[in-house]
Amino acid sequence: MVFPLARLFGRVKVREDRQARTPPPVLEAAPADVTRLLRLDDETGAALTLSRGRLGVIGAVLGVGFALLGVRAVDLALTPHTESGPGRSYASAPAPRGEITDRDGEVLATNLDFHSLWADPSLVWDAQETAEQLATVLPDLDVERTARLLSSNRRFVWIARQLSPRQRQAIHLLGLPGLDFRIEPGRIYPKKRAAAHLVGYTDTDLNGVSGAELAFDSELSAGDGRPVSLSIDLTAQNAIERVLRARMAEFRAEGASAVLLKVGTGEIISMVSLPDFDPNRPGDEPAEARFNRPVSGVYELGSVMKPLTLAAALESGQVQLTDVFDATEPLAVGGFRIHDFHPERRPLTAREAMIHSSNIATARIADTIGSDVLTGFFSDLRLFERAPVELAESAPPLMPQRWGRVENMTASYGHGFNITPLTLAAAYAALANGGVYVPPTLRPVAPGETIAGEPVLSAATAAQVLAVMRQVVTEGSGGGADVAGLAVAGKTGTAEQIVDGRYDTRSVYTSFISIFPFDDPEYVLLVTFYLPQPTENTHGFRTAGWNAAPASGEIIAQLASILGIAPREADPQAQASVVAQMFAPRVQVRRGPEEPLDIVVAPEAVEGQEP
C-alpha cells in the first residue's frame, strides 16, 4: 500500500518537473472557424468602445444642460421677476411716465416702484383656499373672482397691483405656492387732494384716465421722462380750496367750485371742485367726488348772464346805459309772467337793471335787440360750445330745441339753457381783456409771450360793462365781495334747479363772477355753491349775495398777496360814484310789447330768478 502511494506522489512530482523542463508539443492545425471567432471578438470590443464613447458624450451634454438649468435657477432666485402682464412683451419694460408740475415746478404727479402680485394657476394647490388666505391680507379682494382666476388654465394672472411693502411682506409670509411679485412703476400724487380734478389720475397700467393725465397722455408717456408743467399756482389753489371747504360746510352745500383765470393769457391759475378725491386711491371715493363741476357740469347759472346781455345790447348800438326800461309790473309773455326777486316797481335804466338785478328790465333789453343779436353775441363768446380747453371732460351746453322770443328773453337772465362754469368764466375774461376772447388753457404762458385772441366786442363796451359791474359790488347785491383797495367788479347769480320736472325755489345754484382790479383787470374768479342752505348768519336767505359773494371776497383778499396785486386806494376810477357821474339817465321808458305769444312754455321757464 505504501509503494503505490509513493509512486502516486512521485508521479505528480515528475509531471511537475516535466512540465517545467519539457518544451511544448507541436500544435495541431487551428480549427477552420477560429478566424471568424477572433473577428467577432474584435467587433464586440469595438462596439463596447463605441457605446462607452456615446455614453460619455450624452453624459457631457446632460451635464452641461443641468449646469445651465442650475445657473438659470440661481438667476431667477436672485433677480426680480420680469414676467409681464397680458398684452405686454415679456422682454420690454414700461417706459417712464413724465412728471406733472405746477407753474413753479411743484410736483403734482410722479412715479414710484410698487410690488404687484401675480400667480401661475398651474402651480396653485388649492384655488379657493389660496384666495381666502389672500383676503386676510387684502380685505378688498374679490375672493370668488380670484378663485376662478386661480382655477383657470392660464399661466399668468394678476391678483393685486401696487401693493404696499407691508402687504407684500404679509403675503410672502403666507407661503402660498404659485404666487410671485413683480416690481412695476406706479403713479403717485404727493399733494393728494390738491387740484385732484385738474391733475386727474391714471389706471394701473399708467394710462391717463382724467384731467391733465388724460389731456397730455401722449406727451407724458413719450418715454423721455420730461415733465409737463401746468398753468396752475399751487399756493393759490390751496388758498381757494381752504375757503371753499369752510364755506361749503357753513352753508351745508352739496358742492362748490371755483375757477380763476388770468386775463389776457387764458391761463387757469386755479380750478376747484368739491367734494374732491385722493387720486392715489380714486376707487375709494364715490363717483360724485370725481365729477369735475367747473368743466363737466352744465347748469342754469342765473343772473350772472345779465352783464353779457348788457354787453350785447351796448355793442349793437340799439341800447345805451341811460336807456330806461319799465320794471313797474311783472312782464307778461306768452300768457305767463316774468317777475323780479326784489322788485323796484319802477322804470330802470340799463345800468340800474344790472345793479338791482332786474329780470324784467333785462328781458326787455333782450327783446329790444332781438334773438339774432343776442345769440350771435353769445356764440362769439363761445357759450354755445364746449369750453375750448385741453381737458377731455369739457362738456357741451344744453340748448333749447328752438330759440324764439320767449327763450331769448329768459336766456338774457340765465334761464333756459345750461353751460359750464368754465365757459362762463372764459366769456367774462373777454370783457376783462378789452373785448378779446382768449381760450382757457392749462399750459403756462411765458412772460412776454404773445397770445392770439379773437375780438368779440369793442374795448369801449367792455369798459362800460365793467364799470356797471363795479357798481353792482358797491351799491348792489355783490357788496359782500368788496375788498378794500382791490376794486372788485362782479355780479351775483342765483338759479333754481329742476326737481321732479319743476323748478324748486329751495334747490338753487348760487354764483358770483368777479373781475379784479376792475380798472386794470388781471384776474377773473367764478365761485359757485350747489344747493346751499340758509343759515342764521344769512338771515334765512340762500341767495348768492349771502354766500357766493362773501366767499369770493374772502378768496380775493387772500389771493392779493399770493398773486402780487397792489392796492388801489388812491385810484379815483375805483370809486363807483365817479363812474356813475359819467352817465346821466334819460327820460324815455321802453315798455315793449306784451301781447300773448303762440309759443307754449312751462310757467317755471319764465318765473323770476333770484339775483
The three cell numbers of residue 312 are 350785447
The residue behind cell 389706471 is: 203
303 is catalytic: yes
Q: What is the largest CA-CA distance in the chain?
A: 183
The secondary structure of residue 588, as a DSSP letter, is: -
State the Cα–Cα distance between residues 100 and 213, nearest whole angstrom: 8
Q: From the candidates 229, 257, 303, 316, give the one annotated as an active-site residue.
A: 303
- Phi and psi at residue 336, to the nearest 5°: -125, 175
| CB contact at 8 A, 217 and 105 | no
**Residue type for position 390:** E
Short-list 440, 578, 611, CA closest to 432: 440
| CB contact at 8 A, 107 and 237 | no
| CB contact at 8 A, 118 and 161 | no
| CB contact at 8 A, 369 and 440 | no
The three cell numbers of residue 101 are 408740475
C-alpha distance from residue 494 to each of 51, 301, 327, 611 (Å): 100, 7, 19, 5
The three cell numbers of residue 390 are 385741453
State the Cα–Cα distance between residues 321 and 210, nearest whole angstrom: 44
Q: How many helices (H) and strands (E) does the chain have?
A: 18, 17
**Kind and range of the H or E element at 211?**
helix 211-215
State the Cα–Cα distance between residues 50 and 38, nearest whole angstrom: 18
Say if residue 605 is exposed, middle or buried (CB neighbours under 10 Å; 0-12, 13-18, 19+). middle
Short-list 565, 578, 567, 588, CA closest to 260: 565
Short-list 328, 323, 331, CA closest to 594: 331
C-alpha distance from residue 54 to each of 41, 45, 60 (Å): 20, 14, 10
| CB contact at 8 A, 260 and 240 | yes
Q: Which residues are catalytic?
A: 303
